[in-house]
């Protein structure tokens, strides 16, 4: 039960230390190159940049990847490597997918094996998933250079090339080979068609002949390696890492689960190395570890240690309510939540003070042995607590791959992925996770500074009004991008017609989708019917799905760029400031005390912003009658 998460966390830390030191070595440019590679570097190196130039370069490259990505997807029917003849995609779905993969979100409204050719999988999905984590990493490296007071922020293009060529692709090559050895396919042959053991088990066609089983495959291992280790999460198949070809066995599950958090943890080591301040990095690591362990324990406790509540015995509940009437007055009633059917409403006389409460019965459970916890939407081969552990880690980071279906998590376990994405800084995305944490850090420093009555400082630089404005902007963008569109969709028919589950759970599906988009996570309560599909299937009946594509696309754009550019601007502004000497009165950022301040800041801000939404969704579902509706 608890062994698997322990192995994953310990394994990650052991691997992250050498990897982080290596990353620092690469980004500091301490290597010596053969002539050919040096010639390539000279092509992309445009010289030292200040923060504005760095941002420009950053935006320009994103625009470039947007254009190339759009062309690859929009020309799919005419491009090669398409053995299963995948056709044209719906325009809104192309828009959504291109933004999704540009922003490291990798939210998927398409389904890989259904909609994409091998060319699109390689030249779009694979390529974008190589680039987007390194883009985040480059932004972080620039911020570190700013924080430590370098003369310039380095060169964005050079950082990108270093990250892709010397760090990320070599790492993925090693992982890819291990995945193939474990059973992930790596082929350019089209789907396999084979006769099943039991003739006709897949049914028979019109002429009465037994149907063959068709098995989608392709260059899977290459994509799984980049999606897992680059906090991408955009899987090859619709079922993502629950699919036996993406995640063939217990060992690949361990490897790819470590992969979710390996690079984010390694970036902390790199952060400490580049700042020459390992104690400060260790404090941040401690805070993240506490939050991460808490989310894992919560998910495993509520999902693996508890049965699925749909099948167990439950008491019916009678609530005293005041039902609004057309005239404006309220009518006192008893609402009896009958498990498994619609609620009964009975008259209530307030004068009797509850004496007229209707009788309720116990709803008998179904005879199912649920000693392994909630198995709906889980695969067996990874281990008992693997689904809940993965659900926590994939949302601690901005990975968003899944090896169990989050929609079918028990109601309370569903809080873990939501909290991970709301805070968005427990490990976080490659590069951007630490950037998000720096925002909390600056706010924490500011709060602590106010409490002791001194001008707050961070790493020897004064934090003043300008920085605080930028930090607040970055901090507030996230909740606004989640809560406003959620409210809008809940009030419209777009959301209602696409829900897969009733009542509070349906609300959570909507909340989750926007949370995932804004956090650039990409996981989903996948029941949500957000797929337009092929262009041939696109018609006006798909209006809600188009609305999902466009709304999520816009949220992902803002959710990516505001929280990256604002911190680069903060670093640029701190870079220009004079270093204040370290005195007894300086707030130290490398102590356990500061760790608690940081933890408190994160929890306080997070709770203030998102508690109401959590209560309306998963908490209401847990407390409400189960099963409630939908049939």
- In the numeric block, which tokens belong to residue 200? 């006709």
Residues 189-218 that bind other proteins (CB under 8 A): 189, 191-198, 201-202, 213-217
Q: Residue 143 CB, nearest distance to other proteins (Å)? A: 20
In angstroms, rounded to a whole number, what is the distance separating the alpha carbons of residues 403 and 388? 9
Among 133, 146, 176, 522, contact with other proteins (rule: CB under 8 A): 176
- Sequence-distant (6+) residues with CB within 8 A of 629 are 342, 502, 503
Task: List the beta bridge partners of residue 204.
Answer: 210
For the CA atoms of 91, 94, 95, 100, the dihedral, rounded to the nearest 10 degrees, stands at: 160
Helix (H) or strand (E) run with residue 254 in it: helix 250-275
Which residues have CB under 8 Å from 67's CB, separation 6+?
none
Residues 52 to 81 in contact with other proteins, rule: CB under 8 A? 56-57, 60-61, 64-65, 68
How crowded is residue 14: how many other Cβ atoms within 10 Å of its Cβ? Answer: 11
Query: How is residue 263 written in tokens?
Result: 């690079």
Interface residue with other proteins among 385, 398, 436, 515 (CB under 8 A) is 385
Give 222 or 261: the residue with its C-beta nearer to other proteins.
Answer: 222
Please provide residue 480's backbone torsions phi and psi, each rounded to the nearest 5 degrees: -65, -40
Judged by CB under 8 A, which stretch of 320-328, 397-405, 423-431, 576-584 contacts other proteins?
397-405
Other C-beta atoms closer than 10 Å to the C-beta of 235 total 30
Please state the three-class secondary structure of 557-590 as a single string.
Answer: HHHHHHHHHHHHHHHHHHHCCCCCCCCCCCCCCC
Q: What's the min distance (Å) between Cβ of 309 and other proteins?
A: 5
Nearer to other proteins, 193 or 593 (CB): 193
Helix (H, G, I), strand (E, B) or coil at 333: strand
Q: Quick one: which of 104, 108, 408, 523 contacts other proteins (CB under 8 A)?
A: 408
Rank residues 389 and 398 by Cβ distance to other proteins and give the closer one: 389
Give min distance, CB of 382 to other proteins, in A.
Answer: 6
**Which residues between 426 and 465 bind other proteins (CB under 8 A)?**
none
Residue whose entry in the numeric block shows the structure tokens 């929609």:
407
Applying the rule CB under 8 A, the residues between 519 and 538 that interact with other proteins are 525-527
Which residue, 57 or 434, is less far from other proteins as judged by CB?
Answer: 57
By CB under 8 A, residue 187 contacts other proteins: yes
Between strands 314-315 and 362-363, the pairing is antiparallel
Residue 266 interacts with other proteins (CB under 8 A): yes or no: no
11 contributes a contact to other proteins by CB under 8 A: no
From 304-312, 325-333, 424-432, 561-569, give the range in contact with other proteins by CB under 8 A.
Answer: 304-312
Size of the site for other proteins (CB under 8 A): 139
Residue of 127, 278, 561, 596 interacting with other proteins (CB under 8 A):
127
| Residue ranges in 561-580 that form contacts with other proteins under rule CB under 8 A | none
- Phi and psi torsions of 506, nearest 5°: -65, -40
CB-nearer residue toward other proteins: 411 or 567: 411
Please identify, using beta-carbon distances, which residue of 188 and 320 lies nearer to other proteins. 188
| Minimum distance of other proteins from residue 360's CB (angstroms) | 13
Cα–Cα distance for residue pair 410/377, rounded to 1 Å: 11
* Interface positions, 236-255, toward other proteins (CB under 8 A): 237-239, 242-245, 248-251, 253-254
What are 334's strand-pairing partners?
A: 320, 346
Q: Binding of other proteins at residue 335 (CB under 8 A)?
A: no
- Residue 46 as a binder of other proteins (CB under 8 A): the answer is yes
Please give the residues from 129 up to 148 whose contact with other proteins meets the rule CB under 8 A.
Answer: 130-131
CB 223, CB 116: distance < 8 Å? no
**Which residue stretch of 140-148, 188-196, 564-572, 592-600 sits at the interface with other proteins (rule: CB under 8 A)?**
188-196
Which is nearer to other proteins, 158 or 597 (by Cβ)? 158
| 615 lies in the binding site for other proteins (CB under 8 A) | no
For residue 530, is it left (φ>0), alpha (ψ between -120 and 50) or beta? alpha
CA dist 582 and 587 (Å) reads 9
Q: Which two tokens mark 97?
A: 């997918």
For the chain, report the end-to-end CA distance as a whole number of angstroms.
Answer: 34
Q: Which stretch binds other proteins (CB under 8 A): 26-34, 125-133, 479-487, 547-555?
A: 125-133
Pick 538 or 621: Cβ nearer other proteins = 621
Contact characters 539-558, other proteins, x per CB under 8 A: --------------------
> How far apart, in Å, are the Cα atoms of 197 and each of 192, 194, 212, 220, 614?
15, 9, 10, 26, 48
Separation CA 429–CA 373 (nearest Å): 30
Q: Name residues contacting other proteins, limited to 475-514 (CB under 8 A).
A: 500-505, 508
407 touches other proteins (CB under 8 A):
yes
Q: Which of 149, 182, 460, 600 binds other proteins (CB under 8 A)?
A: 182
Among 104, 395, 398, 403, interactor with other proteins by CB under 8 A:
403
299 in Cβ contact with 392 (< 8 Å): yes
Q: How far is the CB of 499 from other proteins (least distance, A)?
A: 10
**Contact between 38 and 165 (Cβ < 8 Å):** no
Which of 514, 594 has the CB closer to other proteins? 514
HSE of 346 in the Cβ direction (CA atoms, 13 Å)? 17
- If the CB atoms of residues 321 and 370 are measured against other proteins, the closer one turns out to be 370
Angle 606-146-24 from CA coordinates, rounded to 5°? 90
User: Token match 């709060």: residue?
Assistant: 447
Report the residue number, 65 or 520, with the smaller CB distance to other proteins.
65
Specify the DSSP element, H or E, that contains 242. Answer: none
- 299 interacts with other proteins by CB under 8 A: no
Whose Cβ is closer to other proteins: residue 18's or residue 64's?
64
Nearest alpha carbon to residue 398 among 128, 98, 107, 105:
105
- State which residue, 436 or 523, has the beta carbon closest to other proteins: 523
Binding mask 21-40 for other proteins (x = CB under 8 A): -------------------x
Tell me which residues in 364-383 interact with other proteins (CB under 8 A): 364, 366-372, 374-383
Nearest by Cα to 319 from 351, 343, 352: 343
Interacting span for other proteins (CB under 8 A) from 20-28, 352-360, 398-406, 533-541 = 398-406
Which CB atom, from 457 or from 530, has the smaller least distance to other proteins? 530
d(CA 41, CA 28): 14
């Amino acid at each position: 039960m608890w062994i698997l998460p322990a192995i994953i966390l310990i394994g990650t830390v052991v691997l992250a230390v050498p990897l982080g030191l290596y990353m620092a070595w690469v980004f500091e440019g301490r290597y010596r190159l053969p002539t050919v590679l040096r010639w390539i570097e000279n092509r992309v190196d445009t010289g030292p940049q200040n923060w504005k130039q760095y941002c420009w370069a950053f935006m320009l490259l994103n625009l470039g990847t947007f254009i190339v990505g759009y062309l690859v997807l929009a020309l799919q029917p005419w491009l090669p490597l398409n053995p299963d003849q995948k056709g044209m995609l719906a325009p809104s779905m192309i828009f959504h997918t291109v933004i999704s993969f540009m922003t490291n979100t990798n939210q998927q409204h398409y389904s890989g094996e259904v909609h994409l050719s091998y060319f699109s999988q390689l030249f779009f999905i694979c390529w974008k998933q190589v680039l987007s984590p390194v883009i985040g990493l480059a932004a972080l490296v620039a911020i570190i250079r700013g924080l430590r007071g370098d003369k310039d922020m380095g060169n964005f293009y050079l950082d990108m090339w270093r990250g892709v060529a010397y760090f990320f692709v070599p790492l993925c090559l090693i992982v890819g080979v291990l995945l193939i050895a474990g059973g992930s396919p790596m082929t350019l042959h089209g789907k396999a068609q084979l006769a099943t053991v039991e003739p006709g088990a897949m049914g028979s066609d019109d002429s009465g002949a037994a149907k063959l089983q068709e098995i989608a495959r392709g260059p899977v291992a290459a994509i799984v390696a980049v999606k897992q280790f680059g906090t991408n999460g955009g899987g090859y198949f619709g079922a993502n890492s629950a699919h036996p070809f993406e995640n063939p066995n217990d060992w690949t599950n361990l490897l790819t689960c470590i992969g979710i958090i390996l690079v984010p943890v390694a970036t902390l080591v790199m952060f400490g190395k580049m700042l020459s301040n390992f104690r400060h990095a260790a404090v941040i690591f401690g805070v993240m570890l506490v939050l991460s362990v808490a989310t894992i324990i919560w998910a495993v406790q509520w999902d693996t240690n508890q049965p699925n509540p749909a099948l167990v015995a439950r008491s019916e509940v009678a609530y005293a309510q005041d039902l609004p009437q057309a005239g404006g007055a309220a009518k006192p009633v008893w609402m009896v939540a009958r498990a498994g059917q619609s609620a009964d409403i009975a008259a209530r006389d307030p004068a009797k003070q509850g004496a007229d409460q209707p009788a309720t019965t116990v709803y008998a459970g179904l005879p199912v042995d649920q000693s392994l916890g909630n198995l709906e939407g889980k695969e067996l081969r990874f281990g008992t607590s693997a689904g809940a552990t993965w659900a926590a880690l994939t949302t601690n980071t901005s990975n968003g791959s899944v090896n169990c279906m989050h929609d079918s998590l028990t109601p309370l376990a569903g809080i873990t992925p939501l909290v991970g994405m709301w805070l968005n800084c427990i490990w976080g995305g490659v590069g951007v996770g630490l950037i998000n944490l720096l925002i909390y850090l600056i706010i924490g420093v500011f709060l602590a500074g106010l409490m002791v009555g001194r001008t707050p400082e961070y790493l020897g630089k004064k934090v003043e009004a300008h920085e605080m404005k930028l930090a607040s902007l970055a901090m507030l963008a996230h909740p606004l991008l989640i809560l406003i569109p959620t409210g809008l969709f809940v009030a419209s028919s777009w959301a209602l017609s696409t829900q897969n589950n009733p009542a509070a759970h349906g609300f959570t599906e909507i909340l989750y989708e926007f949370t995932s988009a804004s956090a650039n996570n990409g996981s989903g309560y996948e029941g949500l019917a957000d797929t337009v599909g092929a262009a041939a299937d696109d018609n006006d009946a798909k209006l809600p799905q188009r609305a999902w594509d466009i709304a999520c696309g816009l949220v992902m754009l803002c959710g990516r760029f505001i929280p990256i550019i604002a911190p680069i601007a903060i670093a640029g502004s701190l870079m220009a400031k004079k270093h204040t000497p370290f005195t007894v009165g300086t707030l130290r950022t490398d102590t356990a005390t500061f760790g608690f301040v940081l933890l408190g800041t994160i929890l306080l801000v997070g709770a203030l912003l998102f508690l109401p939404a959590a209560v309306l969704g998963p908490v209401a579902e847990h407390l409400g009658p189960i099963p409630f509706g939908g049939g």
